[in-house]
Homo-oligomer: A and B are copies of this chain.
């Protein structure tokens, strides 16, 4: 199969969610136009995205909601369960654990690690927090995905340990792109960057407004 762009995958995620809503509303068919409108995407984009994986629609009619939903579910790998290890039981880690959608979408947290002695041994969400030094032992747990919610300084080290323990995907909340070997997928959620990007945009428009005011 041709390489699928990151943006296409993100949109599939959106389509999937729209389909769940529309399904709940009891609709049987949906057009690419209707699928598009909720996300500020064009209908051509929707059709192109879906066409990478097959021809799911019927000309003149649209897509069968239930069928397309199942297809996307399978394409996104959501019809299986993923074993997740969380490293870092601080604020972000705890927030993630409390997030119900996590388990609902097929992600099972099966181990929690932290380096802080005050946290090790505590029970969170039914799991006992392990010493981060024990991450190599995660190899026996067949972990698919590691979530890094540690301070920046520890992040790369933790990533290395997770990779050594056999994880194939890492979701990183530390504000730095980590180095992972080929074959391991990395996604980074960087809140600092989002804030700075907002700051940039606001600074720009404010400066522009000032100039316009001075000129007028």
Q: Residues on A close to B: CB < 8 A?
A: 4, 6, 9-10, 12-14, 16-17, 39-40, 75-78, 80, 82, 91-92, 94-96, 98-99, 101-102, 105-107, 144-145, 168-169, 171, 175-177, 179, 183, 185, 187, 189-205
5 tightest CB-CB pairs across the interface, nearest first? A77-B203, A91-B95, A185-B201, A77-B199, A95-B95
Distance between Cα atoms of A47 and B102 in the complex (Å): 40
Q: A77 to B200, Cβ gap below 8 A?
A: yes
Whether the Cβ atoms of B76 and A203 lie closer than 8 Å is yes
With both chains docked as a complex, state the minimum distance between the C-beta of A38 and any C-beta of chain B, in angstroms.
8
**Residues on the B chain within 8 Å of A75, using CB:** 200, 203
> With the chains together, A75 CA to B179 CA distance in Å?
28
- Protomer copies: 2
Query: Is the beta-carbon distance between B145 and A200 smaller than 8 angstroms?
Result: no
| Interface SS of chain A | helix
Q: Are B176 and A17 neighbours in the complex by a CB distance under 8 Å? A: yes
Which of B39, B80, B187, B197 is within 8 Å of A187, CB to CB? B197
Cα distance A143–B49 when bound, in Å? Answer: 39
CB of B77 within 8 A of CB of A145, answer no
- Known contacts A177-B14, A197-B6; A105/B192 CB under 8 A: yes
| Residue contact B169 to A78, C-beta cutoff 8 Å | no
A-B contact pairs, 5 of them (CB 8 A): A9-B196, A91-B99, A102-B195, A169-B201, A171-B195
* Minimum distance in angstroms from A114 CB to a CB of chain B: 15
Contact, CB under 8 Å: A76 / B200: yes
In-complex Cβ contact of A193 among B10, B191, B195, B197 (8 A): B10
A39–B177 Cα gap in the complex (Å)?
6
Q: Which residue from chain B places its CB closest to the CB of A80 in the assembled complex?
A: B203
Decide: B95 and A197 in contact? CB cutoff 8 A.
no
A182 smallest CB distance to B (angstroms): 10
B contact residues around A183 at 8 Å (CB): 205
Output the least CB separation between A145 and chain B (Å). 6
- Given the interface pairs A171-B194, A176-B17, A194-B171, the reply to whether A200 lies near B94 with Cβ below 8 Å is no
- Per the bound structure, the CA–CA distance linking A102 and B191 in Å amounts to 9
